[in-house]
Amino acid sequence: MSHLLVPAPRAIETVGAPVLLGAGTSVHHDPELAGAARLLTHRLGAATGWSLPSAPSDRAAIVLRYADDVTDGPATVQPHEGYRLDTSTGRVIIEAAGEAGAHYGVRTLLQLLGERAFRSAPIGDDPWTLPGVRIEDAPRCGYRGVLLDVARHFLPKADLLRFIEALAVHKLNVLHLHLTDDQGWRIEIRRYPELTRRGAWRSRSALGDPSAGRYDETPHGGFYTADDLREIVAFAARRAITVVPEIDVPGHSQAAIAAYPWLAGLPEDADPGVWDRWGVDELVLDPSEATLGFYRDVLDEVLAIFPSPWIGLGGDEVPLIQWRGDPKARRRAAGLGFEDVGALHSWFLDALADHLRANGRRPAFWDEAAEGELNREALIHCWREPWRGAEALARGFDVVLCPERWLYLDYAQSDSPDEPIPVGRVTTLQTVYDFDLGCTGRPGSGRPAGADQALAGRLLGAQANIWTEHLDGARRVHFAAFPRLCALAENLWTPPDARDYPDFLRRLQDAHLGRLDAMGVEYRPLGGPLPWQRRPGVVGTLRLSTPAS
């Protein structure tokens, strides 16, 4: 019995009588859990209209208590992420060893109160009743993430904050923010104002598959100021979410090159423009000391905004055509003792990674970077076949899995012709729910990488990737993300032996979709897109294969 919670808790027991809360409900919190108490009074106070005053521990109706013996999870999970919730004595007691666990306990409490607890103002006069339960809970994985691409289509700050709140409801704890790409630069860098003055705007956007040759002919753009991003980081931190920024280099960089053409070795009067197509651009950064100096300056401003332990540097999809045709790049490679310009890829990334390490941070890269001679003190996001994650683990890297076959949420949710702009593969709700973190064995190896105790790296968890080439606003992002993010949240939180897809569907239909409705999340209905969620006439490209399990 899970009392319709999503994600399902590690252990839950029905015990004691229901608990009735009312206008006189009071709250006590230990000092270590002040942030979780603030979340509780803010969210529950808004939904009920109650003031939720403070009271001594022995008289408060809801108590948030610090306890360092709370159940924790695997080695990659911090002990402060676990919590206990007990309503069996007629009061609500939440115990946790830190703010994160207390935060998750509060989120569970709100789910137990029903979908009204997810509204921003009181509706109706029905009593607020909690079931009598004891819950012991902690996440399965320490890294439970979502990448959101705000470079292809900019998501205004208010919409991004709303998206972060939806992640927090599902106990997801990392937002990987893809801030730069060929199609847009979204972070203010005060030392280099042309990055946003020029690089944050494109004249038009491809409409659907680029091979169709259709464009919307509408200028698109936007960016976050440094203070916007500080606010976003603080908002997320209050919800136990770490924001990991990504500045993609040396490929996927045409927006920066449009602002400063010399970054690609082009003349100062060149005008490559911000790219208006989707795909892999052959224009890449010039592998020079001047370019490295520019990006060190950029990273200094990034570091001042984001306290994340990881800073993303991309490193994916870097065509070598430009470097191989450039005598300066060939001379640079030869002078460094490299037989081929391809080695400049790792050299360039490691030079910027060293700058991060000198400032107490760790770089994060896409898995192509792990094929080179990188320093092992890096996090690898494995987006291609999961066995590449096994190879990165064996080489000593920490790994987060986000394989496109299972966890790309811009991919079509069914093979129905009603799916809007279908791209990639069919990635159903069950595809995401059934994703196996242990599937990192190379085909034919017979066992997953995790079975090899000699691995030097750690598998930290997984993340879904939401690329926005075809998601041009918050409504489309919600449609792509939910309810598949509900499935990912349970996959990464709940132990495999406590998960059951038919039961998850029941909880989703009987309760959780109502919570999303109350929050204003415009998810894809289980029966298929609603009329205004379709995009008839906009061409996509769909590979009809589904992932092998």
Query: Considering 137, 181, 281, 419, which one is annotated as catalytic?
Result: 181
| Tokens of residue 250, six digits | 């040396």
Residues 243 and 232 sit within 8 Å (Cβ to Cβ): yes
CA–chain centroid gap for 403, Å, is 14
Query: Considering 72, 317, 500, 517, which one is annotated as catalytic?
Result: 317
Q: Is 415 a catalytic residue?
A: no
Nearest alpha-carbon partner for 539 in 206, 154, 204: 206
Q: How far apart are CA 198 and CA 366, in angstroms?
A: 27
Q: Is the CA virtual torsion 411, 415, 421, 425 positive or negative?
A: positive
Query: Considering 252, 355, 478, 512, which one is annotated as catalytic?
Result: 252
531: preceding bond cis by omega (within 30 degrees): no
Nearest alpha-carbon partner for 370 in 357, 385, 358: 385
Q: Is 153 a catalytic residue?
A: no
Q: How far apart are CA 149 and CA 153, in angstroms?
A: 7
Q: Is 181 a catalytic residue?
A: yes
Radius of gyration of the chain (CA): 24
> How far is residue 140 from each of residues 56, 171, 309, 431, 489, measured CA to CA in Å?
34, 11, 21, 19, 10
Residues 171 and 263 sit within 8 Å (Cβ to Cβ): no
Q: How far apart are CA 328 and CA 326, in angstroms?
A: 5
- Characterize the bridge pairing of strands 242-249 and 310-314: parallel
Nearest alpha-carbon partner for 105 in 76, 132, 135: 135
C-alpha angle with apex 377: 371 to 382, nearest 5 degrees? 45
User: Helices (DSSP H) in 49-156: which residue ranges?
Assistant: 99-112
Catalytic residue numbers read 181, 252, 317
